[in-house]
Structure formats: structure tokens, C-alpha cells
Structure 1
């Protein structure tokens, strides 16, 4: 059970539609910035791994490495997922965590660890601004 979930749900339902639009824009901007930094840090042999890094609303493509998702079925429209790998870039896991024969070459989680506080702050500012303007 998440502490404060009931309070959050009550407040969330009270936020007008334009506030949700502003929050969506802030989430998209933050995800784009993170993906761009991951692109710059990804190992680049043929560009397949870097090209596999992206973000989406909702579920990530099957077989990809993900940071995780925020939200659930109730908040499906506000759940963003950043991903890498899958398809021809199946080796994203190997690069990120290494193997018995290869050292790790992390490009994914270190970026998220550095950026997550900024992302939360950015979204909080968008929410506060939208509420003030409502």
C-alpha cells in the first residue's frame, strides 16, 4: 500500500484538464532530454543500440530494458516509459550490466539516476504552475 494514495487521488481528480496537459508536456520534455543523453552515452558501433533508445506513453516494446513506469491502469494516459534494446538491439542488457566475458558499459541507468530528481522537480513545478493558473 502506498502512503498518501487516497489523498493523492482526491487532489488529482481536482486538477483541471489544462493542468494535466501541462504535466504531460513537462513529462514529454523530461523524457526527451533523458533519451537524448542516453543516446550520447550509448556505445556506438553501428548505431543500432542508440537507435533503440526512446520513450513512449504506456507500455514499452517487448524485450526492452526499461527504467520502470509510473502510474497504473487508472493513470494509463499519464504513464511514460523510457526504454532501450529489443529487436536487433537485444544486447542492451549485456552492455548495461556486462557479462561473464565483458565488463559493463552502462549508458541507461546512470543517466536516470542523475536525472530523476530533476524530472520530479520539473513535473512538480508544472503541477504547481497549472494549479496556480487554474
Structure 2
């Protein structure tokens, strides 16, 4: 199970990013956004295969960002540090802000995609206000 998790996270991320980069290089621009987790920056007990894959994805993203930025391709990594809310509303009709709101996450991805290239970010961490870091 651990080997599969590592292959999906690290190798799968590489293959998808590589295929996207080839097409974007031919076009002359693009954005590649990759999703990590807390395990991208901090290993926790019992998460070795997952952390290995997420550390690899983060390192690959950093390398790709440096390699592809001069070619007008924005590459960024998102650390999602917390639980993501489901589509089920809370008793008050809203979504508890103890969880990451999927729409808020999507807005941040769109924000990074639209960044002016004079101020590209290569990494963004998203967490609910109650998450410890």
C-alpha cells in the first residue's frame, strides 16, 4: 500500500505535470497547479509513504517553477493544511469555518492562476483559522 501511495503522489504528479508542460511549452504559456498537504512540509507519525510522496511533489514543483518560469509557465504548489468541508451545510445553513471551504480553495487557485508574472508565487498554504501550524 505504501509503495502505491508513493507512486500515485510522486510519479503520478510528475507524469501529469510533464504532459501539461510539454503542451504549454508549445503554446508559450500556461499554469500548472499541484496540490500537496501538511505532509509536504512536515512528516507525522504513521504517514511515511504519504509524506515521502508529498515531499517529492513539493520538490518537483519547486524545480519546475524555476525551470519553466522563464518560459512563461507558472508552476505553483498548494499546501492544504486542514480538513475540507463537505457539501452538507451546517445547522445554520452555512459551512463551519473549522473546515476549508471548497469554494474558498477554488478562489485561491484561480487567484494564483491569474497572478501577474512579475509577482508569481510558487507556494501557497491554505488552512482554516483554527488550524495550528
- For normalisation by structure 1, the TM-score amounts to 0.31
- Pair member with larger Rg: 1
Tell me which protein shows more strand as a share of its residues. 2
